[in-house]
Structures are given as structure tokens and as C-alpha cells.
């Protein structure tokens, strides 16, 4: 059995930063993640995707952010169980929890923090004729290595941040970039949308609005897509790659059976400390919901900080929260 102060379910960026905030308060953490590596969606789905809204970084790619977080938390010696899925949560008589994974790993902790991003997730696949037949043959739902797209013809579909950010990024790599969106406005950040419109006006990308991809075709590999406009006219476009970016479908898995208040596959929390309706159980990051919720990494960092302030009372019930510490070689020492 693994014994720790805080058991964190999810080793994405928010879960990792929670280790830092907990470490400042001398609380030990053990992280569990179904993925075989830390980083969550950042490492698994888009490790090379640029991120523009992390304070102090005009731009940082996703994997670099994960690596920096791992370096930041190293002084607090967190432990990890990776490649295993949490299956059961059992409260003990003293209020603590046993967390059990599908491999029968058991973690005993005073506090449980769910930082599972979107929980178990899979890409949303649009209804396009022939799409699945070309998966892995020109059709992909994520970009892990953008260098594979260098000097290639690439079509992106979607209107959120991922579609916009990748369009901007690939404009300097791919031979031809086309962004197709069903509307004439975007859901993503206005600044990113403005950059996309500028690239289109400069002729560096093709921007096709109020249209949908209706069919894909090819001979063993993707060669062409059919685009249906709002007026039902159909245009064919030759391409090497199609990357639909329509977000992820969240699946809470066993978490849905833990007595938590759930709203549309997200866990309701109290914004004073991001606690759930179950005592000693918190939810931070994209997996939680509350009025005004923004699914941003930096918001998850804020939630992690407040959560740790609240969790302290369960780990050290006889102590008052104190911030009296100094640093030695840049490492906090209490």
C-alpha cells in the first residue's frame, strides 16, 4: 500500500501544479493517471502545440510546459502510478480514503483531488462519409509531431482554440494550410481568430467559412475532400492530411459512481476551495464546473492553490496554516 497525504487523480498540468502548492505546505502527493506518462492531454494529444496564455511565457509548447512543471515539483519528491485507471474509492473510519486502481494498486491518503482534465476522453469525430476508412492514412484527430506535416497539404476543420492555434503554427511549416469552419465566426480566442484572418488576407492560408466537409476519398491514402457550402454547392479539394479538431468527448468513468454532484459530465464544486459535496474530496481543472468556469490551464493553477489551502486542515488537523519558510538554493525550506 502506498501512503501519502494527498492522492491526485490525473497527472496533467493542473495535477502537477497541485503538487507544488501542496509541497509548499509540506504535504506529500501521489499521482495516478491512466496514461503511461505525465502531462495528460498536453503530452498525449498535442505535445508540440503552442500555448499562449501561460503567464510569463509569450508562447510555450505543451510538452515544454509539462517538462517545466516536472522540474518545478522535483524538490517535493512526488510519487506516481502511471498506466493504471482508478476504479474504486473507499472512505475509512477516520475520514481518509483508499484509492484502488484496475491493477489493484492501493493508495491511502487523507485527501483526494480529482484533476483528471476531461476524465477518460476521446476525440469527437464528425459525420463525414468515408472518414474512418482513412484514419491513420491521412486522417488524424490530433497533431503529435508537426514536422510530419512539413511541406504537405493540410486541411484543418473546426472553430475552437486548437483549430486556430494549429492553423497559425502550421502556416510556417506546411506547403498549404486550409481551415474549414461551419460558421463565419470562431469560438476560440479573438486574438487567435484575428491572426487567422490576417494569414488568410495575406494569402498564406486558405480560409473556408460557412462550410462543412461532407466526404473524403483516396486510393489507399487520403487524396481529396468534398466541401459542402451553406448554399449546398460542393467543391472538391486535393489534400494530403485532414485533421478534424472538434474537441474531446468526456467520460467520467467510475468517478460518476462516487456520489458526487455531476452536471453534464463535470463535477460541481464550491469556489471558495474547489471542494465537492463529498468531504475531503476536491476537483480542479477542466473536470469541474461552477458559474463562470473557464477551461484554461491558468484557471486550474488558481484552483489548485486554493484547494491546497483548504486540504491542509485534513492533513495537519492540529496545526494552523503558516507561510513561514525560507529558500535554500531556490528550494522552499520550512
Mean pLDDT computed over every residue of the chain: 90
pLDDT at 334 over 60: no
pLDDT digit string, tens, across residues 29-79 = 999 998 778 988 777 666 777 888 899 999 898 889 999 999 999 999 999
More confident residue, 225 or 160: 225
pLDDT at 318 over 90: no
319 is in an annotated binding site: no
The predicted pLDDT at position 37 comes to 84
210 is in an annotated binding site: no
pLDDT at 301 over 80: yes
Among 3.75.10.10, 3.90.1530.10, 3.50.50.60, 3.40.50.1440, name the CATH number for the domain at 2-122+249-329. 3.50.50.60
73 contact partners, CB below 8 Å, separation of at least 6? 16, 17, 19, 20, 23
Q: Looking at domain 125-246, which CATH architecture does it have? A: 3-Layer(bba) Sandwich (3.50)
pTM (two decimals)? 0.68
Output the CA–CA distances (angstroms, integers) from residue 317 to 23, 109, 136, 247, 311, in the order listed.
Answer: 17, 14, 53, 42, 10
d(CA 197, CA 184): 11
pLDDT at 109 over 80: yes
**Interval 266-291 mean pLDDT:** 96
286 is in an annotated binding site: yes
Confidence of residue 119 (pLDDT cuts 50, 70, 90): low
Q: Cite the residue boundaries of each domain of the chain with CATH code 3.50.50.60.
A: 2-122+249-329, 125-246
271 is in an annotated binding site: no
pLDDT at 118 over 60: no
Share of the chain above pLDDT 70, in %: 92
d(CA 273, CA 149): 43
41 is in an annotated binding site: yes
33 is in an annotated binding site: yes
**Interval 290-294 mean pLDDT:** 95
327 is in an annotated binding site: yes
d(CA 89, CA 258): 7
Exposed, middle or buried: residue 107 (CB in 10 Å: 0-12, 13-18, 19+)? buried
Amino acid at each position: 500500500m502506498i501512503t501519502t497525504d494527498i492522492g491526485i487523480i490525473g497527472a496533467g498540468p493542473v495535477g502537477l501544479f497541485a503538487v507544488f502548492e501542496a509541497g509548499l505546505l509540506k504535504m506529500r502527493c501521489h499521482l495516478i493517471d491512466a496514461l503511461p506518462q505525465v502531462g495528460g492531454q498536453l503530452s498525449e494529444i498535442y505535445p508540440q502545440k503552442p500555448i499562449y496564455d501561460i503567464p510569463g511565457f509569450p508562447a510555450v509548447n505543451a510538452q515544454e510546459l509539462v517538462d517545466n512543471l516536472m522540474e518545478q515539483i522535483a524538490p517535493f519528491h512526488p510519487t506516481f502510478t502511471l498506466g493504471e485507471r482508478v476504479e474504486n474509492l473507499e472512505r475509512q473510519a477516520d475520514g481518509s480514503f483508499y484509492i484502488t486502481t484496475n491493477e489493484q494498486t492501493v493508495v491511502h491518503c487523507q485527501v483526494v483531488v480529482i484533476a483528471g482534465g476531461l476524465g477518460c476522453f476521446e476525440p469527437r469525430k464528425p459525420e463525414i462519409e468515408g472518414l474512418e476508412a482513412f484514419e491513420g492514412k491521412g486522417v488524424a484527430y490530433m497533431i503529435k509531431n508537426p514536422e510530419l506535416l512539413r511541406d504537405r497539404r493540410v486541411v484543418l476543420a473546426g472553430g475552437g482554440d486548437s483549430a486556430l492555434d494549429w492553423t497559425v503554427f502550421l502556416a510556417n511549416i506546411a506547403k498549404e494550410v486550409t481551415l474549414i469552419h461551419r460558421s463565419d465566426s470562431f469560438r476560440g480566442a479573438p486574438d487567435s481568430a484575428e491572426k487567422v484572418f490576417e494569414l488568410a488576407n495575406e494569402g498564406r492560408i486558405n480560409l473556408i467559412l460557412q462550410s462543412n466537409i461532407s466526404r473524403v476519398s483516396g486510393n489507399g491514402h487520403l487524396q481529396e475532400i468534398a466541401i459542402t457550402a451553406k448554399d449546398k454547392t460542393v467543391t472538391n479539394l486535393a489534400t494530403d492530411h485532414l485533421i478534424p479538431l472538434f474537441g474531446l468527448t468526456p467520460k467520467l468513468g467510475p468517478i460518476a459512481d462516487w456520489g458526487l454532484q455531476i452536471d453534464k459530465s463535470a463535477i460541481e464544486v464550491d469556489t471558495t476551495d474547489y471542494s465537492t459535496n463529498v468531504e475531503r474530496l476536491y476537483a480542479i481543472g477542466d473536470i469541474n464546473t461552477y458559474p463562470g468556469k473557464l477551461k484554461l490551464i491558468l484557471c486550474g493553477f488558481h484552483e489548485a492553490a486554493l484547494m491546497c489551502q483548504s486540504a491542509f486542515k485534513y492533513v495537519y488537523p492540529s496545526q494552523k496554516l503558516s507561510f513561514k519558510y525560507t529558500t535554500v538554493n531556490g528550494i522552499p525550506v520550512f
